[in-house]
């Protein structure tokens, strides 16, 4: 599942946007610094207001200028003892004198005809008022700032119970079914909801009741959120999107309050879709053993159940929820009248993958050798998100290689990276370790190529990738929905092929088969405990490997007796030992092919599935011609 291009930015949610650093109805935080700066500027300007800049000289130079007859007049400030005088040339100068002029100085002024004007300067109005009012202004400003701060904090606390849902209105281009690739059956399931939202009176006249809630169930990355948004886009109604974790907060009762606010907001819109992603975070089964009836999560779920019962089917509000764990949801949430309908959004099939790939490669420059059919067949089990990542990785490989187009080889590299991990070229193995890894992977590859029910071999490599020292990749030819016992048994033989190859060649085991043994044991356990594939145990099943949540199953007693547990362990061991014997006989009978595949891996590091088949055919004729020289074991 994919979207044509990047998703549109979320439209406004009906509320006034908030600018950074600014709350509703409040001044910006930097406004207080501007006020302080203005006050300081006024203080400085008040002291020097009305004064002109003058050249300052010493008092001795001033007296010499008077004796020379250059001074025409002077002003003496009684407060600061500053003398401002004007020369006959018109130039203004100043100096600092004594507290009072001496008689000799006065006689000198009188003899030279200097006009003496004693003055007493007073500060300006601003400078005289600021010392009086500035302390009061500072105190008043401090209390005003404290009041605003407390008001904003109280406003944040009071709004904590408001819903965090994002509203997508019809004012902006919305997502429609044309943006959703594949999944024709899913679109048919939700068409009734679209028709009801477009014309609810048509259903009311007949007396039909449209489902109040639609639960989208599917693995991660299959596009459940995209489908819900496409329903809103097709119906042309507002779309309120929220995740299950948005309801939970550290304060008690916040979740229930946000649920009420969410439904109230939807009722004001008339017809609307409420979408809750990951609803299993608040919709899990109640009474799981922890928290009791006053658990915050349970109270939130109770409020949601009450709200879903509070509106009729003709109101025009439809709930759509998404989860990948429907087995842990509370039964009260899934009963008729709440989430009436469950729509399964599975992993895309072959045709769906082709449509998804076509959408993602539409705006990328593709080479002529890129075949979408081949890529889709080689990506079974991938979700829409995985396919989008695959196309992007292929484009990145093209850019790294300096290519102008994305080729089929780039898609092969991208698929190897997605399935096997990043190649660790810097990792250096010793010759003995490389030989052990080569025989290990050759054992897997030989079993996969020879067993009739195993998935076809795609390639085998001894280049370290991800956490593995070597990888054997199998790609199924067809989509499998039911796994037969012969297919599972052959799969177990392939898993054990690496370990048995090491024992056959080196007469010892290593830690390289730990992951294979874990997977093989898990598969054999499911065969006995869940799939009824044991003759002694019979058609009995004891639960799955579901995850423990909120204390559920913590105190649960075992459903079978100790004797049955012993039989189960014996049957699991019997299955694994039987498959090990099959694997040993297969590798022993084809020892020449095993050596030939290992030698080619040591030489080329990567061998394709077709090359492995060719090597097996060569090995069948090798004993007669004596052309095979087995690799010497370390």
441 is catalytic: yes
The tokens for 147 are 């009041």
CB atoms closer than 10 angstroms to residue 216:
28
Burial class (CB in 10 A: 0-12, 13-18, 19+), 214: buried
DSSP string, 352-421: HHHHHHHHHTTTS-B-TT--HHHHHHT-TT--HHHHHHHHHHHHHHHHHTT-SSB-HHHHHHHHHHHHH-
Q: Please give the order of strands across the beta sheet that includes 115-119.
A: 55-56, 92-96, 82-87, 71-77, 115-119
Inter-residue contact 624 to 589 (CB < 8 Å): no
Inter-residue contact 328 to 284 (CB < 8 Å): yes
Cα distance between residue 207 and residue 204, in whole Å: 5
Cα distance between residue 604 and residue 391, in whole Å: 28
CA atoms within a 13 Å half-sphere pointing along the CA-CB vector of 174: 23
Inter-residue contact 457 to 442 (CB < 8 Å): no
3-class DSSP assignment, residue 318: strand
Inter-residue contact 572 to 566 (CB < 8 Å): no
Catalytic residue among 234, 296, 298, 441: 441
3-class DSSP assignment, residue 443: helix
DSSP string, 117-133: EEE-----HHHHHHHHH
Cα distance between residue 542 and residue 137, in whole Å: 78
Beta bridge partners of 77: 119
CA atoms within a 13 Å half-sphere pointing along the CA-CB vector of 295: 17
The tokens for 26 are 């409040």
Inter-residue contact 508 to 501 (CB < 8 Å): no
Cα distance between residue 74 and residue 517, in whole Å: 108
The tokens for 456 are 């076809």
Beta bridge partners of 406: 366
DSSP conformation class of 273: E
The tokens for 586 are 């297969």
CB atoms closer than 10 angstroms to residue 254:
18
3-class DSSP assignment, residue 189: helix
3-class DSSP assignment, residue 339: strand
Cα distance between residue 491 and residue 520, in whole Å: 9
Comparing C-alpha atoms, which of 344, 304, 340 is closest to residue 209? Answer: 340
Inter-residue contact 441 to 601 (CB < 8 Å): yes
The tokens for 320 are 């759509």
The tokens for 469 are 């020292």
- Catalytic residue positions? 441
């Amino acid at each position: 599942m994919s979207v044509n291009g990047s998703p549109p930015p979320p439209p406004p949610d009906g509320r006034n946007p908030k600018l950074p650093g600014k709350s509703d109805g409040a001044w910006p935080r930097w406004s207080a610094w501007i006020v302080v700066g203005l006050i300081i500027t006024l203080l400085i300007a008040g002291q020097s207001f009305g004064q002109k800049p003058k050249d300052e000289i010493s008092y001795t130079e001033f007296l010499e200028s008077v004796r020379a007859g250059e001074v025409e007049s002077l002003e003496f400030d009684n407060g600061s003892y500053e003398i401002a005088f004007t020369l006959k040339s018109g130039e203004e100068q100043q100096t600092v004198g004594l507290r009072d002029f001496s008689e000799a100085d006065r006689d000198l002024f009188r003899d030279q005809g200097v006009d003496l004007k004693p003055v007493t300067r007073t500060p300006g109005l601003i400078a005289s008022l600021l010392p009086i009012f500035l302390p009061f202004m500072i105190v008043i400003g401090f209390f005003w700032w404290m009041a605003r701060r407390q008001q904003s904090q109280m406003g944040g606390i009071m709004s904590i119970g408001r819903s965090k849902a994002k509203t997508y209105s019809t004012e902006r281009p919305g997502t429609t079914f044309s943006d959703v690739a594949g999944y024709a059956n899913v679109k048919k399931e939700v068409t009734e909801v679209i028709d009801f939202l477009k014309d609810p009176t048509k259903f009311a006249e007949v007396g039909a009741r449209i489902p109040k809630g639609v639960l989208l169930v599917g693995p991660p990355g299959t596009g459940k959120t995209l489908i819900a948004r496409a329903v809103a886009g097709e119906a042309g109604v507002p779309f309120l999107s929220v995740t299950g974790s948005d309801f939970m907060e550290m304060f008690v009762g916040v979740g229930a309050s946000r649920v009420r606010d969410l439904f109230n907001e939807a009722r004001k819109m008339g017809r609307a879709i409420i979408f809750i992603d990951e609803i299993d975070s608040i919709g899990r089964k109640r009474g799981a053993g922890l928290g009791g009836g006053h658990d915050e999560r349970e109270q939130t779920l109770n409020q949601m159940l009450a709200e879903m019962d509070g509106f009729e089917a003709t109101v025009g509000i439809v709930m759509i929820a998404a989860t990948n764990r429907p087995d842990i949801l509370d039964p009260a949430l899934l009963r008729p009248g709440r989430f009436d309908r469950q729509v399964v959004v599975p992993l895309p099939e072959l045709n769906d993958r082709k449509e998804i790939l076509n959408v993602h490669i539409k705006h990328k420059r593709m080479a002529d050798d890129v075949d979408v059919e081949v890529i889709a067949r080689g990506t079974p089990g991938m979700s829409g998100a995985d396919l989008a990542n695959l196309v992007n990785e292929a484009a990145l490989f093209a850019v790294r290689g300096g290519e102008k187009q994305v080729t089929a080889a780039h898609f092969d590299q991208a698929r190897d990276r997605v399935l096997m991990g990043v190649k660790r070229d810097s990792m250096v193995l010793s010759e003995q370790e490389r030989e052990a890894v080569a025989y290990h992977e050759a054992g897997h590859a030989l079993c996969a190529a020879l067993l009739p029910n195993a998935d076809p071999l795609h390639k085998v490599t001894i280049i370290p990738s991800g956490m593995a020292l070597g990888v054997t990749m199998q790609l199924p030819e067809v989509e499998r929905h039911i796994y037969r016992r012969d297919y599972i048994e052959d799969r177990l033989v392939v898993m054990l092929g690496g370990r048995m190859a090491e024992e056959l060649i080196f007469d010892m085991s290593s830690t390289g088969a730990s992951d294979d043994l874990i997977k093989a044991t898990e598969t054999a356990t499911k065969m006995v405990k869940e799939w009824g594939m044991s003759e002694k145990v019979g058609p009995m099943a004891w639960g799955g490997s579901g995850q423990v949540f909120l204390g559920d199953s913590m105190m649960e007693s075992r459903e079978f007796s100790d004797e049955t547990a012993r039989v189960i362990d014996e049957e699991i061991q019997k299955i694994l030992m039987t498959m090990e014997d099959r694997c040993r006989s297969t590798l022993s009978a084809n020892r020449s092919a095993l050596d030939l595949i290992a030698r080619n891996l040591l030489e080329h590091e990567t061998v394709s599935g077709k090359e492995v088949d060719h090597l097996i055919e060569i090995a069948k004729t090798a004993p007669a011609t004596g052309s095979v020289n087995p690799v010497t074991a370390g």
